């Protein structure tokens, strides 16, 4: 009687193999046990399957099944963390933020602050303000300035002395040193968060109609300047830490299984 060869290629029953074949983990599990039972039924009675080998095949499939479960758990965990992050971001609404950007919102009959930083001491600093059509509305000559953060108040008037009108403007900083060399500068936008939008898995805050990525925020009203981390998040910090501790425990427990399969 012919003997069916033992199953040595575990990859054909792995989650990745199931995906490639268009099957499911449940279908592969049924196939595995059918092959195993058929193998037992057709083995040579005078030379039965070695018990160690039989146990190894069962253990091998059990490990692969656990790995498939682990992958599913990680997918759910990723969705949970994304939902948690989205819920926290909503708390930014109504708060004033400072972020990397070149936009400034001007209200009717009012002024606006222009924030930027200089990488070095500048002999000459010029700020050009543009409207939404890309036209220069006003040019401000600030003269020499020291390195570091700077804030200039724009009175809201254009080059003719008339108020530019309410709207969102952009500005550009040009700085040079005493030798006419370029001094690097970074511009920042400041405004109140009107709403939050989620696009392609990325969270944006809407400030004066402009989208600001959460990763570009460097200051929230009432906080010290610096990147917004979990400890600086508006709310839900305790829940976040609990999730992170859960991830650590999960990875620690999964490490021995992953090592056995590599």
Express each pLDDT in 151-190 by its tens digit.
Answer: 999 999 999 999 999 988 999 999 999 999 999 999 998 8
Say whether pLDDT at 3 is over 80. Answer: no
Higher pLDDT, 2 or 188: 188
pLDDT > 50? residue 260: no
The pLDDT assigned to 179 comes to 92
Q: Are the CB atoms for 230 and 237 separated by under 8 Å? A: yes
Q: For residue 99, list its beta bridge partners.
A: 189, 217
- Count other Cβ atoms within 10 Å, centred on residue 111: 12
Measured in degrees and rounded to the nearest 5, phi and psi for residue 63 equal -65, -40
> Is pLDDT at 237 greater than 60 in this prediction?
no
Which ranges of 15-118 would DSSP assign to H, the alpha helix?
A: 15-21, 25-41, 51-89
The two most distant CA atoms of the chain are separated, in Å, by 105
Q: How high is the mean pLDDT of the chain?
A: 74
Averaged pLDDT for residues 244-252: 56
Residue 144's pLDDT band (boundaries 50, 70, 90)? very high
Q: pLDDT tens digits for 59-103?
A: 676 676 677 677 777 777 766 666 666 677 788 888 888 899 998
24-61 residue pLDDT tens: 556 666 777 777 777 777 776 767 666 666 667 666 76
Q: How sure is the predictor about 1, in pLDDT bands with cuts at 50, 70 and 90?
A: very low
Question: What pLDDT, in 10s, does the model give residues 191-233?
Answer: 888 888 888 777 888 887 788 888 888 888 754 444 444 434 3
Question: Helix (H, G, I), strand (E, B), or coil: what is residue 219?
Answer: strand
Contacts of 138 (CB under 8 A, 6+ apart): 128, 129, 154, 157, 158, 159, 164
Report whether 172 contacts 128 (CB < 8 A).
Answer: yes
pLDDT at 137: 96
Q: Give the whole-angstrom CA distance, residue 52 versus residue 57.
A: 9
Q: Is residue 236 over pLDDT 60?
A: no
Q: What are phi and psi of 56, to 5 degrees?
A: -65, -40
């Amino acid at each position: 009687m012919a003997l069916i060869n033992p199953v040595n290629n575990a990859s054909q029953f792995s989650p990745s193999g199931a995906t490639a074949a268009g099957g499911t983990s449940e279908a592969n599990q049924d196939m595995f046990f059918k092959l195993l039972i058929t193998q037992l039924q057709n083995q040579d009675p005078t030379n039965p399957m070695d018990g160690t080998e039989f146990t190894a095949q069962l253990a091998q499939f059990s490990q692969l099944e656990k790995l498939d479960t682990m992958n599913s758990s990680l997918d759910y965990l990723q969705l949970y963390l994304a939902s948690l992050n989205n819920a926290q971001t909503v708390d930014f609404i109504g708060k004033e933020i400072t972020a990397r950007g070149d936009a400034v919102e001007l209200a009717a009959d009012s002024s606006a602050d222009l924030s930027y930083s200089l990488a070095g001491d500048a002999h000459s600093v010029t700020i050009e303000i543009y409207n939404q059509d890309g036209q220069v509305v006003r040019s401000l000559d600030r003269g020499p300035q020291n390195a570091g953060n700077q804030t200039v108040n724009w009175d809201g008037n254009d080059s003719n002395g008339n108020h530019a009108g309410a709207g969102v403007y952009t500005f550009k900083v040009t700085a040079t040193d005493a030798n006419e060399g370029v001094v690097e500068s970074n511009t920042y936008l400041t405004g109140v968060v009107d709403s939050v939008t989620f696009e392609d898995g990325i969270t944006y805050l809407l400030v004066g109609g402009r989208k600001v990525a959460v990763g570009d925020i460097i200051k929230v009203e009432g906080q010290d300047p610096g990147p917004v981390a979990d400890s600086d998040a508006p709310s839900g910090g305790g829940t976040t830490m609990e999730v992170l501790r859960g991830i650590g425990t999960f990875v620690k427990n999964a490490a021995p299984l992953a090592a056995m399969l590599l």
